[in-house]
Amino acid sequence: MQNYLLPDWFSHNIPSFSEIKSLLPNRNRVLEIGCLEGRSTCWILQNFLEADGTICCIDTFEGSPEHTDIELAGLFERWQNNVKSAICEKQTCNVQVNKSYQGLANLIKDNESFDFIYVDGSHTAPDVLADACMCWGLLRVGGIILFDDYQWQWPEPLGELEYPKPGINAFASVYRDELQVVISNYQVAFRKLT
Ligand SMILES: C[S@@+](CC[C@H](N)C(=O)[O-])C[C@H]1O[C@@H](n2cnc3c(N)ncnc32)[C@H](O)[C@@H]1O
């Protein structure tokens, strides 16, 4: 049984994941950037990843600027315990406690590749753009990358570049010949064509 102390910022995204599942016959290798307490990690393990599949996770487990008002002590231990209670015997979960830039560089160096990538780490446009470009090389042809919070606006007015959207739009614009939009609502997802 999983133990969550923070608000549920995941369940409203399940329809996007379910749609992607129906579009993606091979779901053996998944990469997740931004895990928090493990709500998304555990849902992927129990509902999306193949029974002998591998999920690689990257998170600093230090929270993000929008988490200043919440208690983050013990976050990594909570994520670990939640994953332990959700994972099947033949599934594998690898975690890097790291900034996504460094974690992705390690995966690139190791020639890893993935069928599905979920990007929900830092929400600033420069960070999301860097995550997107690095992830693109790790995504298999035919694979899908999903970005959370495409339409997110924090109540407090921030500069435009504090939000994911400009980073995702810049990525989609430059890589337009290699991708197909498969979901566009609060979240956005692209299939890799070549
Ligand atoms: C919105 S939460 C993830 C929520 C999770 N996907 C879920 O649905 O339950 C964002 C996470 O990204 C992590 N994070 C923020 N900036 C990061 C960075 N530059 N690299 C890696 N992780 C980062 C935070 O520690 C936090 O756990």
Q: List the domains of the chain with CATH numbers.
A: 26-192 (3.40.50.150)
Which of the listed residues 45, 47, 122, 147 should we mutate to test ligand 1's pocket, taking the one with most ligand atoms within 8 A of CB?
Answer: 122
Any residues with Cβ below 6 Å from ligand 1, and which? 9-10, 34-36, 39-40, 58-64, 99-100, 120-122, 127
118 CA closest ligand 1 atom index: 6
Question: Which of these, 121, 86, 116, lies nearest to 103 by C-alpha position?
Answer: 121
CA of 36 relative to ligand 1 center, distance in Å: 6
Note whether 123 and 64 are within 8 A (CB): yes
Confidence of residue 76 (pLDDT cuts 50, 70, 90): very high
Note the pLDDT tens digit of each residue in 156-166.
678 889 999 99
pTM of the model: 0.97
- Mean pLDDT is lowest, of 36-40, 101-105, 107-111, 159-163, for 159-163
Give the residue with greater pLDDT, 183 vs 154. 183
Distances (CA, A) of 87 to 1, 34, 189: 11, 18, 25
Q: What is the pLDDT of residues 125-171, one digit of tens each?
A: 999 999 999 999 999 999 999 999 999 977 667 888 999 999 999 99
CA separation for the pair 55, 30 (Å, rounded): 5
Which of 8, 37, 47, 64 best tests ligand 1's pocket when mutated (most atoms within 8 Å of CB)? 64
H helix runs in 48-87, sequence order: 75-86
